[in-house]
Structure 1
Amino acid sequence: MKQCVRPPVRGVALALATALAWTVTGCGTGSASDDGTLTVWIMEGTNPDAGPFFDEVGAAFTERTSARLDVQYVPWPDAHDKFTKAMAGGTTPDVAEIGTTWTAEFADAGALADLTAHSAAAKDEDDMVPALRTAGTYDGKLYGVPWYAGVRALLYRRDVFAEHGLSAPTSWPELREVARELKEKEPGMLPFPVLGDSEYTLDAFVWGAGGELATPAGDGWRSAIGDREAVRGVDFYTSLATEHGTSAQAATTWDEADLVAGLTNGKVAMAVAGSWTPATILGDRPELAGKLAAAPLPGPDGGLSPSFLGGSHLGVFQTAADQELAWEFIELMTSAEYARKWADQTGYFPGRTSLVERAAQRRDPLVAPFARQMADAGRTVPVTPAFGEIQGKKTLARMVQAILSGKKSVQQATREAAAEMDESFGD
């Protein structure tokens, strides 16, 4: 999910100019809690039919608090810019959906309210999905309450595997061998695409090898992508393409949208994909119902490789006139009843561990494996505003592309990526 950060505004003239530009374009909303209304920004697109859901939530909220709920929808592609301008102009909403990788950035900018005491009083921290709670915590304080998330695991063609007597791999050697067999037996399909423009797919192999993307160092962070364990993960992942031919040169520039297209048109046999992907595929190709299955990402020698768990937090802005009322809304949204309803409608998982564990017990081959991955091996990227800059530069994606294209060795590419990351960290 995407998120937004409040940049420091230096100078009264700049602040006024920014606020004026925001208002003139019709983007300013402000926080209107003083008239008994709670203003909430929700990202548009996660739930295609969010209106009825928030009508129900709004009625429950009014019954609970006597306040009115004003839900405004913000398209994901426009969200970062809209939040940035609103923060600069002091026109942020009371509460907003915030992508998990933006929460630290917003907190660092001073835009979000500290929710630690509220959460402790509600005694709900133990039921927050750990990786989501970590992503919502900055400098030891909770600024983002987990709402929902998705996770990546293996998605494969169940019918193709059955035809050739193959099973979902449970280790890295098995993953390599299954991909090799698919290459031989299904020449018209891509056995296992190695995506050149998807950092989050790479992350799973770095973490699976025992490596890290970055580690705390003093008061800051240092890159760990050039460390031995991380290099091992990068090497295995890219070798599936460069040495074993289970990918294709075209995938060097693929992002996750390209992968979904490949799965949908029947050209991909097995891939690392998001928990939301099956619904997208089946929506376009209903004839594939029963022909897809999922499995957790295997570790090098068995077990699970961690994978990126990303979604959205709910955060309260400092501009909220009534932060207690804002917290009431968050409690309602993350309650078992409404968290489950939102998850059922969107295909994502709730931010509550108890509900994810319940999903892991289901027999659905397109739900339970992803839920298990999320509950047992979900991870988040380094919780520091500097990592957003690294992602913006596509440092890790460009590293993978350099290896896949043969322009750099694994050692050279990881070493140079580590140096670029350290520049962003301020070393």
Structure 2
Amino acid sequence: MKLSARIAAPAAALVLAGLTATACAPRTSDTGAKGDEKTGTLRVWLFQEVGNKPKEKVVDAAVADFGKAHKGTKVEIEYIPVETRAQRVKAAFNDPRSAPDLIEYGNTDTAGYVKDGGLADVSAEFGAWADAKDTDPTAKQSVTVDGRIYGAPLFVGVRALYYRTDIFADLGIAAPKSQAELISTAKKIHREKPGLYGLAVGGAYTYGAMPFIWANGGELADAGGGSYRAAINSEKARKGIAAYTSLFGDDNCPAAKCAAMGGNATVTAFASGKAAMAIGGDFSHAAVEAGTVKGRYAVVPLPGVAANSVAPAFAGGNNIGVLKSSGHRTLAVDLMKSLTGKRTQAKMFDAMGFLPTYTDVRAAAAKREPFVEPFVRTLGAGAKFVPASPAWGQIDTSLILPTMFQEIVSGRKNVADASDDAAKKMDAAFADVG
């Protein structure tokens, strides 16, 4: 993930060793490991969270289990502030001698890191691992490049529709069951209660807009011949773009206020009582609970085009991978399994609310915590992922899709012209990575 699946966290204390990354690192001349030591110190970089202590406890327990089975080893975990992740990963890829053995990384970065020669191929070990057989297919896809496995999923995050139960009751309306009903409901609420956004949307909220494109049968890009070609300007994709951008305007979410909003801003608008609906993740639950709408909201899957269907959601999340430069490959793979196995993911859900990537562990979590149910249902209906290309990092950081949405909602371009321009930029990025 990049941090698309959750709200990113600024700094907390350094502890035992860890990180993540979104930027692509330059390709190094030699990232191959020298040997496979069976003892010694393993270094791990993990994401630093807002309120990191619960995560530390879960990680410490996994490390302790690993230590019992691997005498003569030591594990150092470092929690890296998200803001410095790109520089740290670049340095690690460029200087294998100072690199850690494992890193936590956003799942949209897999292809880029593989191209840069940073991640080890663990296909054989993953395939023989008993836990892995219950991995959600979309989560498995997020560690797969050209049919090979480069890590293990740590958690998955998806978005669904948060809505105000008190507002809906006051207006005598029910949760929308189709995309058309979602749009008309949003505009009805704003008409009846002009102080509220009917549905908070953001011109910079790429992962909130994708379900509209996918629900209409569109794709971001098509794969073929070992490469990708933009599909954002197909007729089906344009229907989804038109549906999403129709929610910007004085009849729902004014473009002057909403065009620049990202995912965090839309969730904040909902949590603070400024919106009757918002597209938020399972990872947004704590923020909404801490807001003024606590006790006055519910969550349902974001509806698709057909009545009672579910719009495909982006499957965000994080993975843990072994660096190709690690001199402790066998130990590092075993530690990766300990940090991402079923037992650890169940504990991580209880501690942090991160959705497990194993279908059976996730089902058990949903029974313990009812708020998870609509997100599990969303995943079960079929979540989707971004193109498994190292170009995606460039496309994302270049804000190609947000620029497209903002050009449309500002009136500078129509859907056809804006999507054609976005497709040209995407194709240039795909061509640039070969």
- Taking structure 1 as the reference length, the TM-score comes to 0.90
- Alignment partner of 1:374 out of 369, 372, 379: 379
**Cα distance in structure 2, aligned partners of 1:96 and 1:311:** 14
- SS across alignment from 1:240: coil
Aligned to 1:114: 121
Q: Aligned-pair distance for 1:253?
A: 0.7
Match of 1:220 among 192, 204, 227: 227
Alignment partner for residue 317 of structure 1, among 314, 320, 323? 323
When structure 1 is superposed on structure 2, of 200-209 and 45-54 the one drifting more is 45-54
Structure 1: runs of 5+ lacking an equivalent: 16-29
Distance in 1 (CA, whole Å) between partners of 2:238 and 2:209 is 11
Q: Deviations over 1:371-403 (max 9, x none)?
A: 211232321100100111111110000000000
How many Å separate the matches in 1 of 2:35 and 2:90? 15
Say whether the 8 Å CA contact 2:349–2:365 is kept in structure 1. no
| Residue 171 (structure 2) pairs with residue 152 (structure 1) | no
Q: 1:318: how far off? A: 1.1
Distance 1:362 1:374 in 2: 18
Q: Does 1:43 align with 2:50?
A: no
* Distance (whole Å) between structure 1 residues aligned to residue 406 and residue 278 of structure 2: 18
Which of 188, 205, 215 pairs up with 1:208? 215
- The aligned residue for residue 171 of structure 2 is 164
Structure 1 residues 334 and 51, CA gap change in structure 2 (3 angstroms): closer
Structure 2 counterpart SS, 1:301: coil
Alignment deviations for residues 143-186 of structure 1 (CA, whole Å, 9 cap, x no partner): 02111021111111122212222221111121122112211222
Pairwise CA distance, 1:194: 2.7
Corresponding residue of 1:181? 188
- Provide the residue aligned with 2:404 in structure 1: 399
Alignment match, 2:363: 357
Distance in 2 separating the partners of 1:37 and 1:363: 38
The match for 1:248 is 254
**Residue in 1 that maps onto 2:10:** none
Instruction: Say yes or no: does 1:143 pair with 2:150.
Output: yes
| Cα distance in 2 between the residues matched to 1:33 and 1:397 | 47
C-alpha change, 1:56 and 1:338, in structure 2 (3 Å) is: same
The residue identity in structure 1 corresponding to 2:295 is: G
Matched, 1:327 2:333: yes
What is the rounded CA distance, in whole Å, between the counterparts of 1:181 and 1:253 in structure 2?
23
- What's the counterpart of residue 336 of structure 1? 342
Letter of the aligned partner of 1:204 in structure 2? P
Q: 2:399 matched to 1:419?
A: no
* Change in 2 beyond 3 A, CA 1:363/1:276: closer
Contact 2:63–2:339 (CA under 8 A) maintained in structure 1: no
Q: 1:7 to 1:85 in 2, by over 3 A?
A: same
The equivalent of 2:15 in structure 1 is: none
In structure 2, the residue matched to 1:128 is 135
Q: List runs of 5+ in structure 2 lacking aligned partners.
A: 3-20
Post-superposition offset of 1:115: 0.9
Q: Secondary structure at the match of 2:247?
A: helix
Separation in structure 2 between the aligned mates of residue 389 and residue 196 of structure 1, nearest angstrom: 19
Q: CA deviation at 1:362?
A: 5.8
The residue number in structure 2 matching 1:265 is: 272
Describe the SS at the equivalent of 1:253. coil
Does residue 236 of structure 2 align to residue 229 of structure 1?
yes
| Contact 1:357 1:372 survives alignment (8 Å) | no
Change (3 A) 1:271 1:68: same
Partner of 1:18: none
* 2:14 corresponding residue in structure 1: none
Distance between the aligned counterparts of 1:106 and 1:312, measured in 2?
14
SS at match of 2:121: coil
- Using the size of structure 2 for normalisation, the TM-score is 0.88
1:7 aligns to 2:11 (yes or no): no
Pairwise CA distance, 1:312: 0.6
Alpha-carbon contact 1:33-1:39 (below 8 Å) kept: no
For the Cα contact (< 8 Å) 1:213–1:381, is it kept in 2? yes
**Which residue, out of 310, 314, 323, partners 1:308?**
314
Q: Which of residues 182, 186, 195 in structure 1 aligns to 2:202?
A: 195
- Decide whether aligned partners of structure 1 residues 46 and 103 sit closer, same or farther in structure 2, where only a CA change above 3 A counts: farther
Structure 1 counterpart of 2:8: none
Partner of 1:80: 86
2:413 matched to 1:408?
Answer: yes
- Return the alpha-carbon distance in structure 2 between the equivalents of residues 395 and 418 of structure 1: 9
C-alpha distance in 1 between matches for 2:367 and 2:244: 30
Aligned partners of 1:110 and 1:166: how far apart in 2? 54
The answer for the alignment partner of 1:65 in structure 2 is: 70
Report how far residue 75 of structure 1 moved. 1.1
Residue in 1 aligned with 2:106?
99
Return 122-131 or 226-235, whichever deviates more.
122-131
- The answer for the alignment partner of 1:27 in structure 2 is none
Q: Distance in 2 between matches of 1:277 and 1:125?
A: 27
Letter in 2 for 1:277: S
Whole-Å Cα distance in 1 between the matches of residues 397 and 128 of structure 2? 37
